[in-house]
Amino acid sequence: MIIYIKKRKSYFLLFLLVLLCFGLIFYKYVILNNKRDFIVGAFLINEKLEEQHEKEVVNVLDNEKYFRPSKLPVLNNNEEINELINNYYDNKFNDISIPMKFINSPENTILNYFSLLREAANPVNGKYIGCGSLGDGDKPYKIAYNLFDDEYKAKISFKKYKDSFSNIFHISLIKFREVPSDNDDIKYFYEIEAIQALENNVASFTYYYGFIELSKIKNEYKISNINITPENYLCAPYHGWVYDAESKVQIEYGDWCKFIKEMNKTEVNGYIKNLYFLGNDNKNYKIQFYTLTNDYDVEVAQYIQDSNGKWKRVKLNPEDCLKNKND
């Protein structure tokens, strides 16, 4: 009787073991598969990140082909900023003083600011962006923060500043140029490209443009304000004319404002595009645009030609014409 009970117990344990095995197989191949990320109608399979060994590391001469898709030259490549990173490696953000040579002109301040950000990284857990450590980590942010003036830092805390870079990596400055300012500060246009971590464990190249303002404090130039706009790739092809310089000028300055008597030439020099027209007041006008990576034309300034043939800035706002037209 005792032997019979032991046999039944053994069969029961064997049954439980087989059931457990089937359960594990079911969980692995059914439950987990249903939990996989699903995008564009397909299950997502991430690249396998190979384990790296020191003896396998090779010197890749052209890393830029991995970092960025465009052929535009990188402008923020000042290696002297490594001096700042090394000198202030262990300092807190409020215990950093930027030497004069890094901020002695608007151009130097901008180039050194973006050079600091180029290898900075502030990854968030759960986002796919690479394999292992990334560039200089988060050390450059506390230095870059000190290229802003005190008024800006009073509005934006260091934590908020640093957090704004979450999941945005390897920032490359590809365009920057001075534009007319509406105040006493110096103003520049800029465009960057970056690698950005997205949902579903996907990383993508992204492009942004914006304007950066600098104030002069004694003989130093510090950033007083900066804004940024993500570039879109579907507005222009589907919704049109406002992103095309020629169409924008003809519609806004012609149809809305009735400024145009005759359209003249269009000049293109790299990403700078100038459109000229003769106004109904018999004066010559120039509307200047900068062309982005996505081929959108961004209007940056308007000029009128004086009696000496020199171009002087003028402020024209076609929106006012449209508003008056609708009133």
Under CATH, what is the fold of the domain 63-230?
A: Nuclear Transport Factor 2; Chain: A, (3.10.450)
3-state helix/strand/coil string of the chain = CHHHHHHHHHHHHHHHHHHHHHHHHHHHHHHHHHHCCEECCEECCCCCCCCCCHHHCCCCCCCHHHHCCCCCCCCCCCCCHHHHHHHCCCCCCCCCCCCHHHCCCHHHHHHHHHHHHHCECCCCCCCCCCCCCCCCECHHHHHHHHHECHHHHHHCCHHHHHHCCCCEEEEEEEEEEEECCCCCCEEEEEEEEEEEECCCCCEEEEEEEEEEEEEEECCEEEEEEEEEEECCCCHHHHHCHHHCHHHHHHHHHHHHCCCEEEEEEEEEECCEEEEEEEECCCCEEEEEEEECCCCCEEEEEEEEECCCCCEEECCCCHHHHHHHHHC
Indicate the domain borders of the chain. 63-230, 235-326
What global pTM score does this model have?
0.81
Across the chain, which has 327 residues, the per-10-residue mean pLDDT values are 52 64 56 51 55 45 59 89 92 94 97 95 69 73 96 95 90 95 94 84 85 94 95 82 93 94 96 97 97 95 96 93 75
Task: Quote the pLDDT of residue 28.
Answer: 52
